[in-house]
Amino acid sequence: MEPAPAMTFPLFQRPGTVVFLDDDPDYLEMLALVLPRHWHVKLFLRPGECINYLQQEPPFWEADAWNQQQLIDHWREGKPLIPQILGYWSKYTERYALTRVCVVDFSMPAMDGLQALAELVDWPGSRVLLTGQADEQVAVRAFNRGLIDQFIAKQTPDISRRLIDAVEHLLATPNARHAQTWRVTLSPEQNALLRVPSVGRDLAAFAAKRWVEHVAIGDPFGVLGMDSAGQVSWLQLETADGLNALAELAELEGVPPAGLDDIRQGRKLADLELRQALGRTDAPELTAAFPVGHDEKLLGAVFALDAVHAPDVANSFSAWLARQDKREVQG
C-alpha cells in the first residue's frame, strides 16, 4: 500500500514575527527598508539580545497551544467550533508576536550563527542561516543534521529577494503541532480529501489570496479565514456525494425548488451548518459553488460573516501591526 500524500495545505495558519540577527548595522538597516511591510520584523545586532528575546517565547507558545487545545476539548463536549475560533481570534492578539522565523548571520565576532541558534533549545520556530562563501560546507552539515531549515549564501545575486522568498516559504509551511491539534476535527474521509495534491494546491492558493489567518475544520467541513483587516469568511466544503443530503436539509429550511435544484447540480451551496453553528435563524443563503481540486469530488462556496459574529476589527492583524514599534535595530 502506498503511503498517503503529505498534507500540503496548512490546517492552521497565521502571521507571526520574523527576527534577524546580524552584526552589520548597515545590512540590518537595509533589511528594515526592503522587507515586506506586512511582516512584523525585529532586528538584532548582538547575539545575546536576540537569544534573550527568543528564549522568552516558549512559555507563550505553550500557552497558545493550550488555548487551542481548549477549543478542541470544548468541541468534544458539544460546543460548536466556529464561535470558539472567532472568540480566540478576538481575544489572543499576542499570538501575532510569536516569532515564526529567525534569520541569523553565520559569521559574527562574539559567536557564530550556529552557536547562537544552539542556545534556542526550546524555541519552536524555523531557522535560516546566512553564510559567506567559506562557510557553505558548515551550513550544509548543519542543514543535514536538522539544525537549520534553510541556508542562503550572502553573495547570492538579489539576496533580498531570495531571503524574502525563503522566509515566505517557511511562514507558509504547516506547523506540525498545530496540524496535530486541528486534525482531530476531521473525519478520515475529510483528511484524505485534503491530502489530494490538487485540492491542497487549490486551497493554499485560495487562502493565500484571501486571508492572513485560517483554520480548517471538519465539523462543519470547511475553512474559516480572516483577512488582515479583520474581515472573516467561511469557505464551505462539500463533496459531490453530499449534495442530495444538503438539498434535503435546505428543503426543510424553506429553500425554494429552484435553489434546491442548484444545490443538487452543484451550482450552489447553502450555509445551513454555518447558520446553525452561529445560532442564526435567518433564511439560508445560497452562494455559487466552484470545484476544489481536479477530480470534481469536492466543491467550495464562500460565505461572508457579518460584523455581529466577526471579531473586533481593532484586534485585526493590520491594527495590531500598526500598534507595534517601528523597525529599529536593537542594540
67 occurs within a structural domain: no
Terminal alpha carbon distance of the chain: 56
**What CATH number does the domain containing 24 carry?**
3.40.50.2300
Shared domain for 105 and 215, answered yes or no, is no
Interatomic CA distance for residues 61 and 140, integer angstroms = 29
Residue 196 bridge partners (DSSP): none
Give the dihedral of Cα atoms 320, 324, 327, 331; nearest 10 deg.
Answer: -140
Interatomic CA distance for residues 300 and 315, integer angstroms = 28
Three-class SS state of 6: coil
| Domain that residue 266 falls in | 184-314
Shared domain for 106 and 43, answered yes or no, is yes
Shared domain for 130 and 237, answered yes or no, is no
Q: Work out the number of other CB atoms within 10 angstroms of the CB of residue 220.
A: 20
**Phi, psi dihedrals of residue 271, rounded to the nearest 5°:** -90, 40
Shared domain for 139 and 194, answered yes or no, is no
41 occurs within a structural domain: yes
Interatomic CA distance for residues 237 and 330, integer angstroms = 46
**pLDDT tens for the 331 residues of the chain, in order:** 556 677 889 999 999 999 999 999 999 999 999 999 999 999 999 999 999 999 999 999 999 999 999 999 999 999 999 999 999 999 999 999 999 999 999 988 888 899 999 999 899 999 999 988 767 788 888 888 888 999 998 888 888 999 999 999 999 998 899 999 999 999 999 999 999 999 999 999 999 999 999 999 999 999 999 999 999 999 999 999 999 999 999 999 999 999 999 999 999 999 999 999 999 989 999 999 999 999 888 999 999 998 778 888 889 999 999 999 999 998 6
- Of 189, 194, 197, 245, nearest to 215 (Cα)? 194
328 occurs within a structural domain: no
Shared domain for 209 and 164, answered yes or no, is no
Residue 291 bridge partners (DSSP): 299
325 occurs within a structural domain: no
Shared domain for 153 and 299, answered yes or no, is no
Model-level pTM?
0.93
Domain count, the chain: 2
